[in-house]
Amino acid sequence: MSEPVWSVDARTGERRDAVAVAVEATSAEVADACRAADAARAALDAAGIRGRAALLRECASGLEDAADELVEVADAESALGEPRLRGELARTAFQFRLFAEALEEGSWLGVTIDHADASAKPVPRPDLRRMLVPLGVVAVFGASNFPLAFSVPGGDTASALAAGCPVIVKAHPAHPDLSERCARILRASAEKAGLPADVVQIVHGQEAGATLVRDPRVKAVGFTGSVRGGRALFDIARSRPEPIPFYGELGSLNPVVVTPAAAAERAEEIAVGLAGSFTLGVGQFCTKPGLVFVPAGETGDRLVDRMARSVTEVAPGAMLTDGIRAAFRSGLAEREALPGVRVVASGAGGEDRYVSARLLAAPSTVLSDADAAELLLDECFGPVTVVVSYADEAELLSALDRVPGSLTGTVHTGAGADDVAAGAGARLGERVGRVVWNGHPTGVAVTWAQQHGGPYPSSTDAATTSVGTAAMQRFLRPITHQDTPPTLLPDALRDDNPLGLPRRVDGRLEA
């Protein structure tokens, strides 16, 4: 018998209603969802660029029209607060519209035409025309920490629909009521755009997620979550009779380097900014700075002291789920017990269900110990960061060599020439997907140039991004038409270019 799915208040731990939101999907129900999504592919493809752009804009408007309802439910299930959630909803609607603009701009198709050339060397060349086409049905796993922007109506869903792929979302158990409401809005938006509602579907349950990844009609997976859960699904995706791409965003340490020059010039500014960054949203950001390198000595000590004062003023916060809270407290206790690690400051205390921020410190030599390094170089999801002091550039670079792959790396540098900054930036560039200079990593702009993905374990494919217009590329594959009769060519590959697409023809870019 299927288990009921309950909506739980994140602040109290109590069920929000006497009636279950949904039930966990059976294997047969997952198969039905996959069958329906596969059947909807033709309609989504036939809608073309303009039809899919209209769908995305309808989704954005539908979410905005229901903003009050969605924010109220999201706040109850996540405890993230109305201001933060209204901002997240605005971002979510914006990214739907940005993908609509990207669709209409057309460069995402990668249209390339090489006309036949009998005199080509070393051999005659046939007529070759290349473009990108949708992979097929995409499974999306909602994230706990962004119940809108990285969940049912999130970037994975928006980018997959833009690419022409139907989506089946495995709802996150932390916000099932919100997930159901968002799914209904997206399905209604599809119908308003003249498409089948089944271009977007939702299932619940851990086993349903694994079943979804195994289904042969699913051709790609988008995932945001833990290393453990993501790796388990990644292994399923790659061990299928027909392996499929698994685009997972897993754990990220997001190291920060403060150079001696930066500490001397801007200790207070950097300290206050860092304290705000690692405690933002109760430390539940995938880009939270979890390791901060500061110079040993007076200037570094001044920066740490100012961070400590800021941390003591941070109010306690409720975390997203009981499991996340328990894991944070366990991880914090393990780190505090390490030899050489000291507690510099704690945030204000609160009720048992609320957690306090923590600032830890250690010398870089601690990272030479294998057991300590295993803990300190692993993400601890929540409001904690570890400040590591370094004696000189060589010691800093040696420590950076131990840092695992991350979404971001940050360097705070001085106003003038700064040799340490150059070396640190180059070293971080080998380990992260986005290098931030003189800022903080916890803001991720949704743009054409954004890269939100990095070397493992931050991502399972460092060549891709889950934020920004390039996220569409994950759900597309190339196909080349050779010597195809003109009447049978897709519109995107016709010589007269009826869609007005940017393209490369015989080696030359055409706007």
- The rounded distance, in Å, linking the Cα atoms of 261 and 419 is 10
Q: Give the whole-angstrom CA distance, residue 447 versus residue 3.
A: 40
Which residues are registered as beta bridge partners of 169? 140, 202
Please tell me the distance from the alpha carbon of residue 116 to that of residue 460, in angstroms, as a whole number. 39
Catalytic residue among 24, 88, 249, 379: 249
Q: What is the DSSP string of 261-272?
A: HHHHHHHHHHHH
Count of CA atoms in the C-beta half-sphere (13 A) of 333: 7
Out of 58, 286, 379, 395, which one is annotated catalytic? 286
Nearest-5° angle of CA 254, CA 255, CA 261?
A: 140
Q: Shortest CA distance to 208 belongs to which of 141, 138, 135?
A: 141
Query: Would you put residue 294 in left (φ > 0), alpha (ψ -120 to 50) or beta?
Result: beta
Q: Is the dihedral of CA 188, 190, 196, 198 positive or negative?
A: negative
Q: Is 286 annotated as catalytic? A: yes
Name the percent of the chain in helix, strand, coil, to the closest 5. 45, 20, 35
- The H-or-E segment that residue 275 falls in is helix 260-279
Contact status, residue 312 vs residue 345, Cβ threshold 8 Å: yes
Strand (E) or helix (H) holding 246: strand 246-249
Q: Find out whether 348 and 38 touch, Cβ atoms under 8 Å.
A: no
How far does CA 280 lie from the centroid of its chain? 17
Residue 249: active-site member: yes
- Catalytic positions are 249, 286
